[in-house]
Structure formats: C-alpha cells, structure tokens
Structure 1
Amino acid sequence: MKLYADQPARFFLQLALDVVLVSWVIAWIWVGTVVNDGVETLAEPGVRISASATDLSDSLSDAGGVLDDVPVVGDGVATPFDKASEASAAMAEAGDSEARAAEKAAFWLGFTVALLPILYVGPRYVVGRVRWIREASAGQRLIDGPADLEVFALRAITHQPLSRLARVSDDPVGALRRGDDLVVAALARLELDAVGLTAPASPGVAGS
C-alpha cells in the first residue's frame, strides 16, 4: 500500500495534513470533554440534595422505628416521622432525577460539540486521502510489474491539461502510436508526477 508520495515536497505536505487532521480530532475531543465536565457541574446540586434528603429520610425512619417500640404511644407518635421520611425520600429521588438529567445533557452536549467539527472536516479529507492511496498503490503496482510506461503515457493524454501535453509534443497521440520513447517517457512522467510517484529508472526516462 502506498501511503505517501515519492516527491519530498508532496510527502511532507501529506504528512503534515495527516498530523493536522489527527490534532484536529484530538483537540475537539478535548473540547467536548471540557464542555461535558463543565455542564456536569449542574448535577452537583441535585447530588447534594439527594444525599442530604437520603440522610434525613434515614434519620427520620430510624427515629420512627425507635418510637414504634415505645409502649402505648409509639404508633401515634411515629406516624409524622414516617411521613416526613417518605417526603425526604421523594426529595432524594427528585435530586437523583435532576442529577441524571444534568449528566445526560452534559454527555450529549459534549458529544455534539466534539462530533460536529470532526464530521465536517474528517470525512472530506479521509475520502480524498483514501482515493489517492488507492490510485497511488495501483500505480505503484504497475510500475513494479511488467507494465511499461505507455500505460501512464496514455493516461496522461486523457487526464493532463492540453497546455502540458503541448509542451511535451505537438502530436502526443502520434508519438505514442509510433512508440517514441522520449515522448512516452515525458508523458508518463506528467501522469506519475500528478499521482505522486517516481518513474522507474529506464533508458527512456533517463533520456527524456
């Protein structure tokens, strides 16, 4: 698999852009984490209310249990404590619900803040990068295999701007049909340069 171009300038540009993309993703994940942590602070009052109400409910319940053991007057005296304990338990549940809601909001807000910029940039860059890797890898296999430079020369005729073809030859198609090694090598170099590959060492390329 061909991950980077052969030409130094293009190689360092691709490498730099890959690093920028990774840094971009890491930076927005960090921002999302900061947002999540910041919004999660809204859950702290609910947590404190829940903890305090739970403690109060337990204390009232214990007090009611003690009064229940008092002969004759126990049942009547314990009832207000039991009701107060139930009210405190309900308050604790409300605090828990508030805390859970705040934590859920914190997660989704942080997730969205991180995800949107990553999705905006990442797929656009990755699609182009993968397309280049596929083209360059296929081209490298042709260079390393039995195929000659005419494949790249023919591709150059169909892909390269006419102004570039005219600088190589006044009749690039005719030169390709005649098998003009110098023109074929020059045309192939145009296409290889565009893809980011280096032409194999051969008399035709060296002499062009």
Structure 2
Amino acid sequence: MKLYSDVPVQRFGQVVGDLVLAAWVWACVELGLLVYKVTDALGAPGRKAAEAGDGLAGDLRRMSEPIGKVPAVGDQLRAPIDGAAGAAGKLAQAGRDQAHAVEQLAYVLAAVTIGVPVLFAVLIWLPRRIRFARRATAAQRFIDNAADLDLFALRAMANQPMHKLAKISADPVTAWREGDREVVRALATLELRSTGLKPPPDLQHSETPADAP
C-alpha cells in the first residue's frame, strides 16, 4: 500500500499532517493526564477522612475490649465506645465513597479530554489518508509504461477542473480521440500528480503543452 505521494509538495503536506496529528494526540494525552491529576486531588480529603476514621475506629475497638471485661458493668461501659467505633467506621466508609466517586469522575473527565478531540482529528485525517492510499495504490498498478497513459488521460478529462484542462488544450477530448501524444501525456501527468504518482521516466522528460512557454 502506498502511503505517501511521489510529488514532493504533496508528500511534504502529508508528512506535516501526520506530524501535526501525532503532536495533537500527544497534547491531548498530556492534557488528559493533567485533568486526571487535578480532579483526583479533590478526593484527598475523602481519603484522609477514611484513614482517620479507620484509625479512630481501631483505637476505640482496642479500648473497648479490656473495658468489656470489667465485671458486672463491662457491657454497659463498652456499649458507648462500640457505638463511637461504629460511627468512626461509617465516617471512614463515607470518605472512601467520596474518594472513589472523585476518582471515577477523574477517569471520565480524562477520557473525554483525550478521546473527543483525538477522535475528531482522526475522523478528519483518516478518511483522507485512506482515500489517498487506495487511489495511489490502485493507480500504481496501471502505470507501467507509456501505453497506459491513455487511461489516465481519460480520467483527467473526467476528474480534473476545466481550467486545468484548458491550459493543456483548447479541445482535449478531440485531441485525445485523435491520439495527440503530447496532449495525452499532459493529461496523464495532470491526473497522475493529483493521485500522488510521478509519471513514467519517458513522460517526465517530455515537454507537454502545459509546460511549453
């Protein structure tokens, strides 16, 4: 498959376009990572609350164990401490839930920041590159020698703008039908270059009506 044009100006534009797309993807990824870091940092209070709640709940439970062993009143003394430990555990769970929600939001925002602009750019870039590759690859199979120029001359008359055809001949259709080789070569060159191919060597060194002063 032919990915780049043989025509220098067109090939330069394709390379620049590919580099711009790569730079755009890199910039979007960097921005997405920054968005993730900034958003995820908002979950720090929740993580700290969860850590503090777990620590407090653990301390209260360790405290309640020996108190619960006090004869007669141990259970009564232990109940408020166990209740406080349970409340601390709920506080820790709320902190974890908040931190998890922020983390999920950070992932979503990062994915949107990266995915949407990259997808938009690829949807613009990819069809054009695929279309060029298919056209150039298909055309390359036919341009073996000068005998194939008639086909590309015919395609030029069907595809190229009228003002470009007029620069080659005042009546390119009649010239093509009469087998005017100079006009045929000029038309074929025009079509080949638009497809991203260089004409055969014998065509490159031949003067055409479009090149004549």
TM-score range relative to shorter protein: over 0.9
Secondary structure, aligned partner of 1:148: helix
Pairwise CA distance, 1:64: 1.3
Pairwise CA distance, 1:150: 1.0
Report what 2:182 is aligned to. 182
- 1:40 to 1:158, Cα distance in 2 relative to 1, 3 A: same
Find the aligned partners of 1:147 and 1:118 in 2 and give their Cα distance.
45
Matches within 5 A, 1:20-99: 20-99=20-99
Report what 1:17 is aligned to. 17
Pairwise CA distance, 1:119: 2.4
Pairwise CA distance, 1:170: 2.2
Note the alpha carbon deviations across 1:88-133, whole angstroms, 9 max, x for none.
Answer: 1100110001101111111111221222222222211211111111
Residue 131 (str. 1) matches residue 112 (str. 2):
no
Matches within 5 A, 1:165-176: 165-176=165-176
Moved more, 137-146 or 86-95: 137-146
Report what 1:7 is aligned to. 7
Gap regions ≥5 residues in structure 2: 209-213
Moved more, 8-17 or 79-88: 8-17
Pairwise CA distance, 1:206: 2.6
The two structures have a TM-score, normalised by structure 2, of: 0.91
Taking only aligned residues, the RMSD between alpha carbons, in angstroms, comes to 1.8
Which structure 1 residue ranges, 4+ long, deviate > 6 Å from structure 2? none
Pairwise CA distance, 1:21: 0.4
Aligned residues: 208
Report what 1:121 is aligned to. 121
Letter in structure 2 aligned against 1:5: S
Pairwise CA distance, 1:5: 0.8
Find the aligned partners of 2:44 and 2:204 in 1 and give their Cα distance.
75
Secondary structure, aligned partner of 2:201: coil
The answer to whether the 8 Å contact 1:185/1:204 transfers is no
Secondary structure, aligned partner of 2:143: helix
Find the aligned partners of 1:90 and 1:81 in 2 and give their Cα distance.
14
Moved more, 94-103 or 134-143: 134-143
Find the aligned partners of 2:176 and 2:36 in 1 and give their Cα distance.
63
Find the aligned partners of 1:47 and 1:204 in 2 and give their Cα distance.
71
Identical pairs, percent:
38
The two structures have a TM-score, normalised by structure 1, of: 0.93
Find the aligned partners of 1:18 and 1:203 in 2 and give their Cα distance.
30
The answer to whether the 8 Å contact 1:182/1:205 transfers is no
Letter in structure 1 aligned against 2:124: R
Moved more, 192-201 or 28-37: 192-201
Gap regions ≥5 residues in structure 1: none
Moved more, 4-13 or 30-39: 4-13
Find the aligned partners of 1:165 and 1:12 in 2 and give their Cα distance.
25
Letter in structure 1 aligned against 2:82: D
- 1:8 to 1:61, Cα distance in 2 relative to 1, 3 A: same
Residue 191 (str. 1) matches residue 191 (str. 2):
yes
